[in-house]
Amino acid sequence: MGVPAVELSERRAAILRLIISDYIQTAQPVGSEGLVQRHRLELSSATIRNEMARLEDEGFITHPHTSAGRVPSDQGYRYYVEFLMGDPELPTDEKLRILHQFHQATSHVAQWLQLAAAVLSQSVHNAALVTAPRVAQVRLRQLQLVALHEHTALLVLVTEEVKVRQQVMTFADPVTQDELTRIANRLNAQWSGLDAPAIRARPVDPGSRDEAVRIVVAGILEEDEAAGFSDAHVEGLRNVLEQPEFSRSTKALEVLEALDEHNLAATIPAEGPPSGGVTVIIGGENPNAPLREMSVILSGYGSEGGPRGLLAVLGPTRMQYPRAVATVRYMGSVMSALLRRLYGDEDR
């Protein structure tokens, strides 16, 4: 994800900005005469052609074999994002509209996630992904044991991020509900607030019921940590598939497969940018092959050391980067504020 080593002259940078702007709007290769006419440039077509040839030699634009025009390369988009688009902000009226939508929502995190994905998708006319908040180290809040039969019980585990997991356990000897309640109370007193390694380190009698419960509890906590940001809401796939870049059925299928909920862990980095920061991954910079003709705009929300999630916009490299970056950044700040309100920690 490196920044191009070549520094463009003011004129070539201005021409690159116009090429990117026109191509984003039209999805058609851009020619020198078209640039002069559309933007009423005080330069001849021959001068523009010469500058475009240099931009192509330096890797900022490329020449599709079926057209006389040029299109931006990944390097061109990267230069634009780093040096030409500035520090975009959403208009105040849009910020107020987004806030109003969230103020009307309930306090359920699932509804916030769905709303955030829908707002992002509608705002940038591409696909949007919002992951559920999670902590880096999954810790036990409490557990319950509910008798099902003589030898089986239902383990109900609640993590500190208020995620509930259930698993049926089998015991070698018959066990009553009173005994299960005593076990749960004892283990809650010892394990509450601990992560999987700390729970595994706690001494228990070999072969005891406590040991059986410990194995299951530690395993569940480890599974949750390994799951990463796979629990996500996706909106706006149709927006991506309607883009001319993905009109071919094979490309559409590749995009659908990459954004399937079971493949999301490979689609987005497990560790996103810090809250308030924005990462732009362009085309071939994507490690995931089906996304190498797409760009991903990422931001974290939440707080370091507390629950964190990711927001992302995904679309073709021919994307409105200023709007996407501004919207993702602002949505991240809104979601961070909602999380602080939910967890009662205004200082995070």
Residue 298 lies in a domain: yes
Residue-wise pLDDT for 88-104, tens only, equals: 999 999 999 999 988 87
Q: Are residues 130 and 237 in the same domain?
A: yes
Shared domain for 235 and 104, answered yes or no, is yes
Q: Which pLDDT tens digit goes with each residue over 40-50?
A: 998 899 999 99
CATH number at residue 179: 3.30.390
DSSP of 19-80: HHHHHHHH-S-B-HHHHHHHHT-SS-HHHHHHHHHHHHHTTSEE--TT-SSBEE-HHHHHHI
Is the same domain home to 338 and 192? no
pLDDT at 4: 57
* Confidence check: pLDDT of 232 > 90: no
For residues 190 and 323, what is the distance between their CA atoms, to the nearest angstrom?
A: 50
166-175, 193-202, 303-312: which range is least confident on average? 303-312
Percent share of the chain, pLDDT over 90: 59
Q: Would you place residue 348 in the very low, low, confident or very high pLDDT band (cuts 50, 70, 90)?
A: very low
Domain boundary among 226, 241, 264: 226
More confident residue, 184 or 277: 184
Do 272 and 129 share a domain, yes or no?
yes
CATH assignment at residue 296: 3.30.450.40
Domain harbouring 32, CATH code = 1.10.10.10
| Per-residue pLDDT, 340 | 82
Q: What is the pLDDT of residue 321?
A: 97
Residue 138 has what pLDDT? 87
Residue 265 lies in domain: 92-134+229-343
Instruction: Specify whether 194 is located in the same domain as 157.
Output: yes
Please state the domain count of the chain: 3
Q: Which of 207, 226, 245 is the last residue of a domain?
A: 226
Angstrom distance (rounded) from CA 169 to CA 151:
8
pLDDT band at 226 (very low <50, low <70, confident <90, very high): confident
Same structural domain for residues 243 and 339? yes
Query: H helices of 125-248, where?
Result: 177-191, 196-201, 209-226, 237-241
Which of 184, 207, 226 marks a domain boundary? 226
Whether residue 212 is found in the same domain as residue 263: no
Higher pLDDT, 29 or 104: 29
3-state secondary structure of 170: strand
Statement: residue 323 has pLDDT above 80: yes
Residue at 5 is within a domain: no
Candidate ranges 231-235, 260-264, 277-281; pick with highest mean pLDDT: 277-281
Express as a percent the part of the chain with pLDDT over 70. 88
Confidence check: pLDDT of 126 > 60: yes
Average pLDDT over residues 7-11: 92
Whether the predicted model's global pTM rises above the 0.85 cut: no
- Alpha carbon dihedral 324, 314, 308, 155, in 10-degree steps, equals 150
Within this chain, do residues 152 and 165 fall inside the same structural domain, yes or no? yes
Considering the domain architecture, whether residues 305 and 221 belong to the same structural domain is answered as: no
Decide if 3 is inside a domain: no
Mean of pLDDT values over 273-281 = 80
The whole-number pLDDT of residue 293 equals: 86
242 and 215 in a common domain: no
Q: In terms of Cα–Cα distance, which of 320, 259, 323 is closest to 288?
A: 259
Averaged over 332-342, what is the pLDDT? 87
